[in-house]
Amino acid sequence: MQLAAVNGLLVLIPAAVFLGLRARAGELSGPFATVQAVELCAGAVNMVLLGRNLAAGLAMRARAPRRA
């Protein structure tokens, strides 16, 4: 989960700010598209990591002894 948090803090948030400022200024050039592609990839990585974390949590729950 630390990787998902670092990914969000160091990639997704700055990318969102950059893209928002560029879009507001109407500067939709090469760097905009590059940062947008990087943000898309980072978001996909986060989704995979969160999905794996969910699967691991469900597996842990299935192995836990049931209480009466």
Query: What's residue 68's pLDDT?
Result: 64
Residue 29's φ and ψ, nearest 5 degrees, are -105, -160
Residues in CB range of 56: below 8 A, 6 or more apart: none
Query: What is the pLDDT at residue 52?
Result: 94
pTM: predicted TM-score of the whole model, two decimal places: 0.79
What percent of the chain is modeled with pLDDT above 90?
Answer: 76
How far, CA to CA in Å, does 44 sit from each of 2, 4, 18, 25, 65? Answer: 16, 11, 19, 27, 34
Convert the pLDDT of each residue in 24-55 to its tens digit: 999 999 999 999 999 999 999 999 999 999 99
Mean residue pLDDT of the chain comes to 92
3's enclosing H/E stretch is helix 2-7
Under 8 Å between Cβ of 32 and 19: yes
